[in-house]
Structure 1
Amino acid sequence: MVLESACYDVTIIGGGPAGLYSAFYSGMRDLKTKVIEYEEELGGKVNVYKEKTIWDVGGLPPTTGAQLISQLTDQAFTFQPTIVLGEQVIDIKKMDNGYFHITTNKNRDHYSKTIILATGYGILKQTKLNIPGAEKFETTNLYYAVKELGKFRGKDVVISGGGNSAVDWANELEPIAKSVTVVHRRDQFGGHEKFVARMRNSSIDILTPYAIDDLESSQDGTCCIENVTLKHCENEQCQFRKTDAVIVNHGYQPDLSFLDHNSIGLKVEERRLRTSNQMETDATGIFAAGDISNHSSSIPLIAGTFTDAALAVNAAKLYIHPDADRYARVSSHNDRFKSQ
């Protein structure tokens, strides 16, 4: 039998923006809270673009990813939740008493009255460039993430991809790089319209529909990419670019394997969980927030995850305490802050 003292009110799986705000709001609702994060640091996918500027979070001026992580983490720690890093959830079972037994890859057991899944699209594995031998350049000048903008100052840069990351990095690098070339398989880009327009109206060289076909190594023995072959996706004609750096933004391969054969009734739709507009999943007592949630009002923005998180926590509170208020009190009137 699990001791009540060992059981949390809410266990949040995932330490990205949705998970961190869930932790804060759970504290607002006076719930004993734990966060389990697979990586060794909090921040989720935002860690991939710490130097990128984030524009679309309400009330914040343009903010770097690193600053956003820092502020979200500070906020999440307001009510001192338990934080578990470096553990991957591999199984969730519901016990006879209605509580949940969570097992991780470190053979640790966690117990909770409710769960909020804030895993995004799961453990993210970057989609690598499908060219034989490309991996040998990953230690020199083939990049799948930009961690230091200054590293590309004065360089000729080729970016492959057409989503938000490719568009944003192109715009960020255009003022400091010697040249920026963006290669995409389709004529249309998937980034935010404003930033796609900014890219198109800049000095950035855009090649569509093209894809990287080959990487040519330098002759100085440093195993650096010196030339890139770019092939037209329709007529197969090739162009060649001399380059100092290649950045690949081809998205991620999600891993939500712990949901594939779950025994608790979670319904997975196109690698996301079916949820109600109150963030309830098909498994009673388990809620979702952020990108993993597939509901009719879902907004694929960091800002949208904050609403999801609050709704999930409120639903968890009512699940544990059916007579509780539907929402937390406004923070300026909340007694929980008097001791902070």
Structure 2
Amino acid sequence: MADRMERFDVTIIGGGPAGLYAAFYGGLRDMSVKLIEAGSELGGRLRSYADKTVWDVGGVPPIRCARLIEQMIRQARTFEPTIVLGQRIAELERREDGTMTVVSASGERHHTRALILALGHGVPQPRRLEIEGAQRYEAANLHYAATADPGRLRGKTVLLSCCGSGNVSAVRIEELAALAARVVVVRGRADLQPSDRSRPTPSVEYRAPFVVERLHGDGNRIEAVTIARVDGEGDFAGERERMEVDEVLVDHGTRSEYGPIVRWGLEKTSWNFDADERLATRLPGVFVAGDAANYPSKLHLIAGAISDAAIAVNSAKRYLDPTAPKSAPMSTSSAKFADRNKALGL
């Protein structure tokens, strides 16, 4: 794989709110910046509720999250950072001169003087259907809600498994009903109903409390499923039903994971990384921001992620140059924005 020999002042891993603001603020601090995102698009966890309205970002009126993502990406690109998509970072190497190389799972190498981990909750992965042999059908007609192609479901008989502690929204079920000829919703608890359910849909049938017990197929495609009733403890209660289906859609929620990064030697809680008041980790030159950061006064809001990003960048700048100012000048008095303000007519 290619070895990206250019060395950046700071490399940011993660393209959510903390990573995006760190990319902007790093440019404001005259640093060369690279941002690496594991997914195919920027926005991080905000993408999971892109259609929701956000009220709690300081100075920003209520805004659709999708629109907020667009604005944060535009801001992040202000000083033209290098942005790399679709690479999940796996390894960290430290060179004799103190600089670092981060290596992606696909072998790409990125050289940097400082590193900011803006990993959020990690890379989201769908919770898979835990049935023997299920994986073999994932290339055919077993789909996970987060990545399903709606066109594959059109006019079909679809079984939607939403067992577990999650609750599928009425909007998702109604969208599915508009595509499929018949939808059978299987739920592991009788008391779980679609949230904000507005009206019954004739093409949608509910089986609760039932779970998918077995997939029937030729090893290439699922032809039928057996569902089984469960009791309040999740144990099989005897009643079973077999039905022919065209497609199986699984929505058991997601779980996020940091992958090989947890083996770098960082101090870690059950789900994020310990940092001091400068957002420095125990590894020299490695800082953390956003939901991935754990420190006593941590604020798990978008506003908190933005604050973290600025602190982490300032700490990285001072790590590289202890004589540097503690922070960037205010944008109202920064010469960096003079020409930009004129172009905007401000």
Relative to the length of structure 2, the TM-score reads: 0.70
In the TM superposition, what are the counterparts of 1:101-180 in structure 2 within 5 Å? 101-135=101-135, 136=137, 139-140=140-141, 142-145=143-146, 158=160, 160=162, 166-167=166-167, 170-173=169-172, 176=175
* Stretch moving more, 91-100 or 112-121: 91-100
1:254 equivalent in structure 2? 257
1:192 equivalent in structure 2? none
* Stretch moving more, 102-111 or 29-38: 102-111
How far is 1:36 from its partner?
Answer: 2.1
* Stretch moving more, 241-250 or 118-127: 241-250
Amino acid at match of 2:44: G
Aligned partners of 1:149 and 1:173 also within 8 Å: no
In the TM superposition, what are the counterparts of 1:254-293 in structure 2 within 5 Å? 254-260=257-263, 262=264, 265-293=265-293
How far is 1:128 from its partner?
Answer: 0.4
Structure-2 separation of matches of 1:184 and 1:338: 60
Structure-1 separation of matches of 2:128 and 2:111: 37
Structure-2 separation of matches of 1:81 and 1:150: 36
How far is 1:288 from its partner?
Answer: 0.6
- Seen in structure 2, the aligned counterparts of structure 1 residues 23 and 223 have a Cα distance that, compared at 3 Å, is same
**Tell me, which stretches of 5 or more residues in structure 2 are unaligned?**
178-182, 341-346
Secondary structure of the 2:116 match is strand
Deviation string, structure 1 residues 267-298 (Cα, Å, up to 9, x no partner)? 23324211124321112221111232222333
Asked whether 1:15 is paired with 2:15, we answer yes
**Tell me, which stretches of 5 or more residues in structure 1 are unaligned?**
190-195
Amino acid at match of 2:322: P
Runs of 4+ aligned residues of structure 1 deviating over 6 Å after TM superposition are 146-157, 204-208, 224-227, 239-245
Amino acid at match of 1:99: T
Secondary structure of the 2:112 match is strand
- Seen in structure 2, the aligned counterparts of structure 1 residues 46 and 147 have a Cα distance that, compared at 3 Å, is farther
Report which of the two structures shows the higher radius of gyration computed on alpha carbons. 2
Amino acid at match of 1:183: R
* Stretch moving more, 142-151 or 80-89: 142-151
Deviation string, structure 1 residues 159-201 (Cα, Å, up to 9, x no partner)? 62667xx54x5153366565896836697x9xxxxxx9x9267
- Seen in structure 2, the aligned counterparts of structure 1 residues 318 and 250 have a Cα distance that, compared at 3 Å, is same
Aligned partners of 1:256 and 1:271 also within 8 Å: no
Asked whether 1:100 is paired with 2:96, we answer no
Secondary structure of the 1:79 match is coil
Q: CA RMSD in A?
A: 4.2
Secondary structure of the 1:129 match is coil
1:75 equivalent in structure 2? 75
- Seen in structure 2, the aligned counterparts of structure 1 residues 141 and 258 have a Cα distance that, compared at 3 Å, is closer
Relative to the length of structure 1, the TM-score reads: 0.71
Aligned partners of 2:126 and 2:144 also within 8 Å: no
Provide the aligned length of Structure 1 versus Structure 2.
317
Aligned partners of 2:215 and 2:225 also within 8 Å: yes
Amino acid at match of 1:54: K
1:193 equivalent in structure 2? none
Aligned partners of 1:200 and 1:206 also within 8 Å: no
